[in-house]
Structure 1
Amino acid sequence: MSEGRSRSFYLLSIVVALYVLFLYGPTITIVVLSFQGPNGGMTFPINGVSLHWFHNLWAGIGVPYVGDALLNSLKLGAVVTVLTVVISLMAGLAFRRSFRGQSVLFYTVVASLILPSIVVSLGIALEFQIIDQNVKAIGDAYEIDAIQSGYQTAMGLMTSGLGAHLTWTLPFGLLIMFAIFNRFNSSYEEAARDLGASSWQTFAHVLLPIIAPSLVGVVLFGFTLSWDEIARSSQAVGADNTLPITLQGLTTSVTTPVIYALGTVTTGISFTVILLALAIVIFIQKRRLRHGSDAGKGLV
């Protein structure tokens, strides 16, 4: 005979449901309000259903330069993702062997996670102001016309902005690589070397395919953290705004559902990246299982 659910089960179910509602309720609200008709307002009840505000968004009505901000965020997110994967992988491989100053270097990298983001942004902005002052001083001292007439600032999306985002994404990537390599079975590499594989062949054909799903996780962290970052971007990207900064600025000036349409687009891109990353992980795992099954049949 089956026993009925206890009272604590229903109580915990209600708590979990309220937590999920609290977590995703604001996002659902923004998405619903973004699909209102032309006469829609900023609050419920909704007034009609249409794509009117998305059309206004892409036409630049009420939200100018949103296309430029979107491209800036995509370009910055792509570069940050690539650098995060490459640097995290190289650091993970380096930390597999002990070296002097290993602990100091590790805690220095991880310390970036506990520093206030706005302080990091201000610090990077001050560093580039010092660079600008020194470059201009050199130009004046040696009368370099290219600097005196053409140099403005070294601060920009792919300089100071890139550095600010890497201070946020690299610690996460590094921690993921540490977790992977701490449980990685080095006997696979030893077997490959016993069979005559070089160091590069061992890395490319043995190690890399095994840790590929984890690298997809680093890609996911790298892009999504960069895509949504505001505080570390606020003082460090220079004149080129990213999409989150543009969205934050519009909250005080835009009074139509077009801002909800922008929020829906931003959220949609984030979820698309997440689903794509999950699909890649599933594909890699199925491919590995299929190859393992084929190899087993070949031995029979």
Structure 2
Amino acid sequence: MLKKRSLSFYLLLIFFCLFVLFLYGPIIAIVLLSLQGPDGQLMFPVRSFGVYWLGQVFQEQRVGNFVEPFKRSLTLGLLVTAIAIAVSVPAAMAFRSRFRGASVILYLTIASLIVPSVLVSLGIGILFQVMGWPTNWFSSGLGAHLTWTVPFAFLIMLGVFNRFDPSYEEAARDLGASGVKTFQEIVLPLIAPSLIGITILGFTLSYDEFTRTSLVSGQDNTLPLEVFGMTTNVTSPALYALGTLTTIFSFAMIAIAYSGYRIYSQRQRGG
């Protein structure tokens, strides 16, 4: 017999459904408005269904385009992710041993996340101006993104290594493994799930970053800046289509990362 549910269960279920609708309702609305024919408009009701505007994303818009900014954001996201991992892992490993100035470095890292993003962008812009360096999306934009992604990656890895059992490494060294071999065979497989998480988080933070890039991108916009600039000029469902493709791209990144982790785990167990 089915167990009788209490009234609180149904109330909590309704609350949960409303919460999910609140999270994904805007995405669903954007997807529906992007799947329109050439006569599509910016609001409901949908006149006709089709994929016309999905193709228009890759065409030149009335003001600007989406393809080149997407390439810039993709390049920045991949580069920022690689640098964040390369910096955060050894930095967190260094914090496993107490050293002079560790607290100052930690507080400075946290302060980078607390300071308003627009002030960080302004400070980087002033620094480049004083040094006589031109601001552009690849140099000053990269620095702005790193002030956002590296602290997050470092704090995550710091928590990972705080729970890391050093006896595994000691056992490997007792068996004659070198420091590099110990890291490759013991440490890296154990922290692999966290590295995948940092990869997804770092790329997402960089790909979506707007405020810290707003004053230091130079003449060439990243995708968020291009979208913001088009909101007052593009009066077509092309913006909705871009949101749909970006959502698909984000879910694809998560699926690829998860699949890669599963394959890596199976190979580890098989080995």
Give the match for residue 82 of structure 2: 82
Matched, 1:52 2:52: yes
Answer whether contact 1:247 1:262 (CA < 8 A) is retained: no
Partner of 1:116: 116
The corresponding residue for 2:218 is 238
Deviation (angstroms), 1:2: 5.3
Q: Give the Cα separation in 2 of the matches to 1:272 and 1:209.
A: 24
Deviation at 1:165, TM superposition (A): 0.4
Could you tell me which amino acid in structure 2 is paired with residue 19 of structure 1?
F
Of all paired residues, the percent bearing the same amino acid is 49
1:60-83 deviation line (CA, Å, top 9, x unaligned): 143533211011001111110000
2:234 paired residue among 243, 247, 254? 254
Taking the aligned partners of 2:63 and 2:194, their CA distance within structure 1 comes to 38
Gaps of 5+ in 1: 133-152, 292-300
Please tell me whether the aligned partners of residues 63 and 233 of structure 2 are also in contact (alpha carbons under 8 angstroms): no
Is 1:74–1:227's contact at 8 Å kept on the other side of the alignment? Answer: yes
AA aligned to 1:237 is S
- Matched letter for residue 290 of structure 1: G
Letter in 2 for 1:262: L
- Which residue type is aligned with residue 206 of structure 2? S
Q: What residue is the counterpart of 1:135 in the other structure?
A: none
Q: Over residues 72-120 of structure 1, what are the superposed CA-to-partner deviations in whole Å (9 max), with x where a residue is unaligned? A: 0011111100000100111111111110010110111011111111111
Aligned pairs for 1:59-208 within 5 A: 59-62=59-62, 64-132=64-132, 153-208=133-188
For normalisation by structure 2, the TM-score amounts to 0.95
1:44 maps to a residue whose letter is: F
Shift of 1:264: 1.5
Match for residue 279 of structure 1? 259
CA distance in structure 1 between the aligned counterparts of 2:216 and 2:17, rounded to whole angstroms: 39
Aligned counterpart in structure 2 of residue 267 of structure 1, from 236, 247, 257: 247
Q: Does residue 214 of structure 2 align to residue 223 of structure 1?
A: no
Partner Cα distance (1:200, 1:270) in 2: 34
Q: Residues 213-241 of structure 1: CA distance to partner in whole angstroms, max 9, x if unpaired? A: 11111111110100011111111221221
In the alignment, structure 1 residue 214 sits paired with structure 2 residue 232: no
1:225-268 Cα offsets, whole Å, 9 max, x none, are 00011111111221221011111111111111011111222222
Partner residue in 2 for 1:32: 32
Residue type at the aligned position of 1:11? L
Q: Which residue of 2 aligns with 1:17?
A: 17
- The answer as to whether partners of 1:57 and 1:63 remain within 8 angstroms in 2 is no
TM-score by length of 1: 0.87
Q: Distance in 2 between matches of 1:258 and 1:63?
A: 12
Name the Cα RMSD after superposition. Answer: 1.4
Write the distance in 2 (CA, Å) between the matches of 1:9 and 1:193: 54
Question: Which ranges of structure 2 fall in alignment gaps of 5 or more residues?
Answer: none
Distance 2:196 2:110 in 1: 21
String of CA shifts for 1:256-292, please: whole Å, max 9, x gaps: 101111122222222221222222223333333333x
